[in-house]
């Protein structure tokens, strides 16, 4: 039995040795990879690579699943010697862009100067008084629909003017004058009546709109008004207009009590190329204005635009401060030719009350009416002119610098009564 076991073991051992000798073994450390011949043979059965020739169109979406590697030459080793990644051709406009960038990097191309900013076109009263015109349109249409002038016609006219914030007193005076004209000219049609109303309003609104300049030393324009009416923005827009005309400008940040007022004015000064004089927050406003005028005189600057404090007009200390600013400004080496009250047109009769308060202390020369494009109360223009005898010199019809325009009585009245809105 033992002999049998030994014989079987010898036979199994010989069999194992024979198998090991028959198997081809690789040397220790050799990379286990196919031979060059095996690799060539496998490539012959692989899917052909997709190559793009110069005359071929770009790849379609379904072609993107095909291999995009082209093997130039196979050499022994893990990777071929050269591998090219191919795909859709670069579009002509992209290739040009790349070439331009390369030339730019080499200094062969100079960047073009940026195109000049588009010139801002001033708006028209006709185009910007839509809300005020809409408030009048119903009454005007109702009046023109009548064939004769009667008591109801006069009532409609009176209501339309009062609702437009012309004011009761000015409305009464205006219609009394129109009645006399109707009687004198023997007007019988409502169309001629509306024409007579327009003519009377134009004549009453007529007045100087030119901002006066001094021929001796810097011209000084003071801007007064309560906070929130757009006073600082108005100064910035006036400065933009002046510098665009070639006039040198210094802006005085005299509203030292309102937070960020100097920064806001400084932004406008940077935009239009004006100089800025400012003081410490909470400092003396009249000192800032005086220093600005002195600096303008020393630098031969033509115009000084002075911002002032804008606390509520009911505060006595504000009015006293404005008186002081005016006195100090007149002692400097410039000439105060304009004191402009800035009013928000949307406040209506409240704006008229502000005008009365400021007129008592500032010797106002005119009014700047902001936000007129957003107001349905365009009659405030007429109320200011009639009750305070102050000309409206500038009006704001939008947000941009070009939207601050000279007041034109004829264009204003025509736009207010225009039924077509063209």
Q: Which of 23-27, 40-44, 338-342, 415-419 has the lowest mean pLDDT?
A: 23-27
Residue 361 has pLDDT above 80, yes or no: no
What is the sign of the dihedral through the CA atoms of 81, 87, 91 and 97?
negative
Between 289 and 313, the higher pLDDT residue: 289
pLDDT tens for residues 383-409? 888 888 889 999 999 989 899 999 999
pLDDT band for position 139 (cuts 50, 70, 90) = confident
25: pLDDT strictly greater than 60: no
Q: How deeply is 202 buried, as exposed, middle or buried, from its count of CB atoms within 10 A (0-12, 13-18, 19+)?
A: middle
With 50 as the cut, is the pLDDT of residue 94 above it?
no
pLDDT confidence bin for 286, thresholds 50/70/90? very high
10-14, 129-133, 395-399: segment of lowest average pLDDT: 10-14
What are the Cα distances from residue 386, in Å, to 172, 202, 375?
A: 11, 12, 19
**DSSP state, 23?**
S
Q: How many beta carbons lie within 10 A of that of residue 183, not counting itself?
A: 9
Please tell me the predicted confidence (pLDDT) of residue 386: 86
d(CA 220, CA 330): 9
Q: Is the pLDDT of residue 200 over 90?
A: yes
127 vs 421, residue with greater confidence: 127
Q: What's the pTM value of the predicted model, to 2 decimals?
A: 0.69
Place of tokens 């020369």: 365
Q: What pLDDT does 105 receive?
A: 57
Can you name the residues that pair with 343 across neighbouring β-strands? 369
Q: Strand (E) positions, 99-231?
A: 219-224
**Mean pLDDT (the chain, rounded):** 79
Strand partners, 253: 278
> What average pLDDT does the segment 175-200 reach?
95
Q: How far apart are CA 389 and CA 383, in angstroms?
A: 9
Mean pLDDT of 275-304: 92
Give the range among 49-63, 257-271, 314-328 with minimum mean pLDDT.
49-63
Query: Would you say 119 and 400 are in contact if contact means Cβ atoms under 8 Å apart?
Result: no
Among 30-44, 111-125, 175-189, the range scoring the smallest mean pLDDT is 30-44
pLDDT at 123 over 70: yes
> What does the pLDDT average to over 305-312?
82
pLDDT of residue 227: 86
pLDDT digits (tens, 9 = 90+) for 204-251: 998 889 999 998 889 999 999 888 899 999 999 999 999 999 999 999
pLDDT in tens, 320-335: 888 899 999 999 999 9
């Amino acid at each position: 039995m033992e002999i049998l076991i030994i014989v079987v073991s010898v036979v199994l051992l010989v069999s194992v040795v024979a198998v090991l000798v028959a198997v081809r073994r690789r040397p220790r450390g050799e990379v286990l990879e196919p031979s060059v011949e095996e690799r060539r043979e496998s490539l012959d059965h692989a899917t052909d690579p997709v190559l793009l020739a110069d005359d071929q169109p770009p790849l379609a979406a379904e072609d993107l699943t095909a291999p995009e590697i082209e093997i130039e030459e196979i050499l022994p080793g893990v990777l071929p010697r050269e591998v090219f990644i191919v795909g859709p051709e670069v579009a002509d406009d992209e290739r040009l862009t790349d070439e331009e960038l390369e030339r730019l990097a080499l200094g062969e191309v100079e960047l073009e100067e940026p195109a000049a900013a588009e010139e801002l076109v001033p708006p028209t009263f006709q185009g910007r008084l839509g809300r005020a015109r809409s408030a009048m349109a119903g009454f005007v249409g109702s009046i023109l629909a009548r064939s004769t002038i009667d008591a109801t016609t006069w009532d409609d006219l009176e209501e339309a003017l009062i609702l437009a914030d012309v004011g009761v007193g000015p409305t009464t005076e205006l219609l009394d004058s129109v009645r006399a004209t109707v009687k004198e000219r023997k007007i019988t049609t409502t169309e001629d009546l509306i024409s007579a109303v327009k003519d009377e309003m134009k004549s009453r609104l007529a007045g100087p709109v030119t901002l006066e300049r001094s021929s001796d030393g810097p011209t000084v324009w003071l801007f007064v008004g309560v906070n929130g009416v757009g006073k600082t923005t108005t100064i910035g827009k006036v400065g933009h207009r002046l510098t665009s005309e070639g006039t040198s400008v210094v802006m005085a940040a005299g509203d030292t009590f309102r937070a960020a007022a100097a920064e806001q004015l400084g932004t406008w000064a940077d935009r239009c190329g004006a100089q800025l004089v400012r003081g410490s927050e909470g400092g003396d406003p009249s000192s800032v204005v005086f220093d600005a005028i002195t600096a303008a005189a020393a630098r031969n600057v033509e115009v000084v635009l002075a911002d002032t404090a804008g606390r509520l007009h009911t505060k006595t200390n504000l009015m006293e401060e404005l008186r002081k600013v005016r006195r100090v400004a007149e002692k400097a080496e410039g000439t105060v030719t304009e004191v402009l009250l800035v009013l928000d047109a949307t406040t209506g009769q409240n704006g008229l009350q502000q005008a009365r308060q400021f007129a008592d202390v500032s010797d106002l020369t005119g009014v700047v009416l902001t936000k007129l494009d957003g107001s349905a109360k365009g009659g405030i223009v007429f109320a200011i002119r009639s009750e305070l005898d102050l000309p409206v010199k500038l009006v704001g019809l939008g947000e941009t610098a070009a939207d601050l325009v000279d007041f034109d009585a004829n264009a204003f009245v025509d736009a207010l009564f225009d039924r077509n809105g063209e």
